[in-house]
Amino acid sequence: MERSGGTAKCVFKAQGKQPELWDPVWGTHRDLTDFDQAAGETSLTLRFAPAQSFFVVFRKPLATPAGRRSNYPELKPSAGLTGTWEVSFDPQWGGPAKATFEKLEDWTKRPESGIRYYSGTATYRQTFDAPPGAPATYLDLDAVNHLARVRLNGRDLGVVWCAPWGVALPAGRLLAKGNKLEIEVTNVWANRLIGDEQEPADCEWLPGHQGNGGFLKQFPDWFVKGQPRPSKNRYCFTTWNYFTKDSPLVSSELLGPVRLATEDWNRN
């Protein structure tokens, strides 16, 4: 389960202190054990997902090591969630209340206009049994556009908004049978605005400066008077428009594959 990204050999002007890895995304920190100290320096290798960053902190005296192990676990896949997904969208924003995804795919590739042009939050649901063997300790989403909140058996496991796209599974949370997984995926607003441009115009626009979009000439009478909108299948109202009906849609999806994995720390 290799990640794109990379590794970096880092050298710090510190010796006699325990290096710790602080993760600013999850608000966690842990001791690093795979490092060398000599001549007033600490050298170690850090591994990064795309655009990932850490703090390396030296604040505690160096304790007698209990044993050297890898600074990062290897994710060993134990099972993939390959079944169908029930996905619910918000009808108030043009999406279907329920859709079945036989496979994980980009919303913009779907035939339903309510999904293709959807912007907002959609909830993926699947029920699965835990695989035999060592209990899984990590849920790998592979990639998401653009953020996801994960719930397992009613417990909120947090929001994922950058690589690595996954969450740790608390001990004892995974059941042998009938695990209920919910993943709320939220995308950006561009697709809904592009979808609105498929409908008849009900506002007047003036060209934007230096050819960048257009701005509202004036508030239309129907808006000022609180009347029903003439273009009934539009969902958004803006004072500046950067899109046309032919603007490229923005990929929006739970990409997957979604996999259960076990973290193996003993690679050294």
**Residue 64: per-residue pLDDT:** 73
Task: Please tell me the total count of domains within the chain.
Answer: 3
> Is residue 27 located within the same domain as residue 149?
no
Confidence of residue 5 (pLDDT cuts 50, 70, 90): low
> Is residue 31 located within the same domain as residue 94?
no
For residues 126 and 188, give the distance between their C-alpha atoms in angstroms, rounded to a whole number: 24
**Lowest mean pLDDT, pick from 63-72, 86-95, 146-155, 157-166:** 63-72
Buried b (16+ CB within 10 A) or exposed e, 7-43: eeeeebebeeebbbbeeeeeeeeeebbebebeeeebe
Query: Which among 44, 72, 100 is the end of a domain?
Result: 72
- Tell whether 100 is covered by a domain: yes
> Is residue 237 located within the same domain as residue 126?
no
> In whole numbers, what is the pLDDT of the chain averaged over residues?
91
116, 107 contact by CB (below 8 A): yes
| Domain housing 39 | 6-72
What does the DSSP assignment read for 6-24? Answer: EEEEEEES--SEEEEEEET
- Which runs of E-coded beta strand occur in 161-199? 166-168, 179-186
Confidence of residue 14 (pLDDT cuts 50, 70, 90): very high
Share above pLDDT 70 across residues of the chain, in percent, rounded to a whole number: 96
Confidence of residue 134 (pLDDT cuts 50, 70, 90): confident
**Residue 1: per-residue pLDDT:** 34
> Is residue 54 located within the same domain as residue 87?
no
> Is residue 101 located within the same domain as residue 45?
no
pLDDT value at 4 more than 60: no
In the chain, count H helices and then E strands.
Answer: 3, 21
Highest mean pLDDT among 49-53, 67-71, 77-81, 107-111 belongs to 107-111
> Is residue 21 located within the same domain as residue 109?
no
The stretch 84-100 carries a mean pLDDT of 96
Question: pLDDT: is 257 or 266 the higher one?
Answer: 257
For residues 182 and 199, give the distance between their C-alpha atoms in angstroms, rounded to a whole number: 33
> Is residue 96 located within the same domain as residue 63?
no
For residues 47 and 34, give the distance between their C-alpha atoms in angstroms, rounded to a whole number: 12
pLDDT value at 136 more than 70: yes
- Tell whether 193 is covered by a domain: no
The stretch 106-134 carries a mean pLDDT of 94
**For residues 22, 28, 30 and 34, what is the CA-based torsion angle, rounded to 10 degrees?**
-50
**Residue 175: per-residue pLDDT:** 92
The stretch 194-212 carries a mean pLDDT of 90
> Is residue 99 located within the same domain as residue 29?
no
**Residue 2: per-residue pLDDT:** 38
For residues 73 and 30, give the distance between their C-alpha atoms in angstroms, rounded to a whole number: 13
Question: pLDDT: is 261 or 69 the higher one?
Answer: 261
**Phi, psi at 138, each rounded to 5°:** -150, 140
Query: Which among 52, 72, 92 is the end of a domain?
Result: 72
- Triad 251, 254, 255: Cα angle to 5°: 75
> Is residue 165 located within the same domain as residue 91?
yes
Beta bridge partners of 148: 160, 185
**Lowest mean pLDDT, pick from 15-24, 168-177, 196-205:** 168-177
What are the CA-CA distances from residue 225 to residues 193, 216, 218, 235 (Å)? 23, 17, 13, 18
